[in-house]
Amino acid sequence: MKIILASKNQDKIREIQKILKNTSIELKTFHDIDIPEVEETGVSFVENAILKARSASITTGLPAIADDSGIEVEYINARPGVRSARYSGENATNESNNKKLLKELSGVPHEKRNACYRCVIVFMRFPDDPFPVISTGSWYGVIAEKPIGENGFGYDPIFFLPEFNKTSAQLTDNEKNKISHRALALAGIEEYFDNREK
């Protein structure tokens, strides 16, 4: 089945393609069919994912998959949340977002630095799909005191995983793609397609 992936984030595209590579889904991206940028005006990850999937499906005439994700830190009331990609401003970079979050948590002890990566994946069969498939994933960790590691993207260099004694940016792609918030959310989408094809 041909499906448009409603994202222009190269890191997300690569990660999603790797996770879904053994499925029957033929994933098309903005490299194949141009899709517009969508203003993320929702107050939740679910709302933003639906906005993106609907827009991509309207533009291409294909079913669409969209991701909205981010990181929540308990100590600062689940921020950055849906603003994760733009936390340090409209021209934010991964580095500037990480710096802002570390500055905000300066002096906060380890036991109060709990964080959670969230991901919502939405699959819409057509733009006005009344029953979109919504799958979620959560990945728990702690915000480190400084960036460590070269892999991954986003907040991975400061997302510390106590069970591995590493940040997400120190994991290999294969390790991350088995346990991450995005992998967990995509597993629900895979299950949906597996059941459809039986």
Distance CA 10, CA 125 (A): 23
CB under 8 Å to 19, separation ≥6 — which residues? Answer: 177, 182, 183, 186
Distance CA 79, CA 13 (A): 24
| 68 annotated active-site | yes
Distance CA 105, CA 111 (A): 12
Please tell me whether residue 163 adopts helix, strand or coil conformation: coil
Please tell me whether residue 188 adopts helix, strand or coil conformation: helix
Return the closest-CA partner of residue 4 out of 27, 24, 20: 27
Phi first, then psi: what are they for 16, rounded to 5°? -65, -40
Q: Which of 11, 32, 68, 129 is catalytic?
A: 68
Where in the sequence numbering do the catalytic residues fall? Answer: 68
